[in-house]
Structure 1
Amino acid sequence: MELDIALILTQDGITSGAVYALLALALVLVFAVTRVIFIPQGEYVAYGALTMAMLQQGKVPATLWLLIVLGALAAGLDAWKALRGGSRAGLAASFGWCLGYPLALAALMYALPASQSVLVQSALTLAILVPLGPLVYRLAYQPVAEAPVLILLIVSVAIHVAMVGLGLLFFGAEGARTSAFSDAQFALGSLTVSGQQVWVVAVSAALIGGLWLFFERSLYGKALRATAINRNGARLMGFSPVFAGKLTFLLAAFIGVLSGILIAPLTTIYYDTGFLIGLKGFVAAIVGGLASYPIAAAGALLVGVLESFSSFWASAYKEVFVFTLIIPVLMWRSFTSHHVEEEE
């Protein structure tokens, strides 16, 4: 293999690895705080890319109606709980966020002109899809938050199947790409780097740095870390596990949707593409033991580079090479770690 080809493949691998790193961080975060293996993480990537594509076509995304329906269901559950328990504290805030926000966003969508800048379209995509994270937690995971990990995994599989089916209903079977954030081209020796690739790597690095500052410096970040270490201890110190779950799913949804927006100009996204992308992020998270953020990020870069070189050597088997990586990692971890029974 010539050096120029190796550099091009490494460049593509780093671009893909940056996105896988974000997904791996989201998966590690969700599992550490809530014990949920969040299989639908990849669906947020597909929803983000395809919602952005619908906005660029001048259409109102169907995911807006999903937000309204889930918000109405969450508000109804909170109202029913308040009526049964007799306490109506926080009910007004719940109705404001679950119903008022989606309806106001729908009114804004219909009031805006059909054509907006790419940044405005990105902001609208995030505004529509990111709130789905806490709503999914409220409706699907909060009622079974104390259940065993296996039950939470089954719930994740059910949500994944439902989101894939809704994706087919909302977006159809046709794939879509979006306009690039930048059409610039940069020459680095024999390499040509596109402006969109720079956007992907730069935004991924900035988001990873922002998450590090959030967990190290902010009160909520430290509270999430405490919940990840000891849920009961965090509860005794006054930090609600319910709020921790909603905040964690909010961050996971933000990371997934932003990843979809970033990669949509580089590859065609279909309604079911997110599952495969999410699985590669999951492989990277497994490399980090679903606990270490730096190791998961390094594993994501390894997955991206391995996928890129596998595509060159044997494109039909590139997925096999990537997912086979998980076998030696699991074997090594099984030999070097001790089995600990799950806490009741």
Structure 2
Amino acid sequence: MLRGVSHGLLPTFAAVGWLAPVLLLLARIAQGISLGGEVSNASAYLGEIAPSPHRGRYSAFFYISTGGAVLIASLLGYFLVRILDKADMASFGWRIPFIVGGVLGIVGLWLRRTIDETEHFEKNKDKARHVKNPLLLTLRRHPKAVGQLIGYTMLSTLCYYTFFSTLTPFAINSRKASADDVFLALSIGTALFIALQYPMGMLSDRYGRKPQLLAWAAATAVLIVPLSTLITPNPWNLVVVFCVGLGLYTAMTSIAPAIMSEMFPTEVRALGIGAWYNLTVATFGGTAPLVNTALSEAGNANIFFWYVAAGAAVAFAAIWTLPETKGMQLK
């Protein structure tokens, strides 16, 4: 909640020396931990409050809000670099987005305190209190679900890192694209990403989760490398890359809370999602910048896209073993 405010109000190196970067590092770690903890709770909550026939479309609101936040943050950054010179950005401009985010976090806390626990949680909270070693319990009783969750989360985090992070510097530094063109293409792709969430959630309620996830993994495996060849200084090519990539990604993100909630019973749902989801994100998302940097320094930056394609193939195999869960009652 207050992480953004703390980032924005941190003292400078000139004022406190090496304590400044240490405080920044600690604040960023706290921010990562809090965000990781919220993913599982928010996913479980959306899955549990939704009527069974409409769980897909309810789930879509998770990434509608996430995508909206990414788009607003990008636009804010773009606006700041246009009105502030480099000296002002280095002096105080970089603090503004963190302070804005911190204020929004306070609003989020207020909203969260006003919502009630779900009926599923209230019915199972006593049972949950008596669960011993819940993390081991998920492995012992739900090993297949854990493996499936790791399989498709690996691809999801690689897709997120690829399209929302690595493609921008890759296009600018390796393919000599204009920074403004890349920003515009990413903004258009992100807007499409947001717009497709609800329709894709509705499709999953009608036709099923599994076909949608299989289509996402298969299309990513086949198209990610050809898409990378379209990253050129041509702005229209950039729009195609971001729109196709992020459009495909909505097939998964729109139903992520639904599919994860349907894999575990209520008493271990939040932990089953949170622990294994975050471990997978840390393993593959956390190392993705290192892999990308190492490949780039070796002059093989294009191989990163083959790495994502391989992850898509693994995810396809994991998704193939999933049962169809649309319309099911949560346990």
Scaled by the length of structure 1, what TM-score is found? 0.34
Scaled by the length of structure 2, what TM-score is found? 0.35
Higher helix proportion (structure 1 or 2): 2
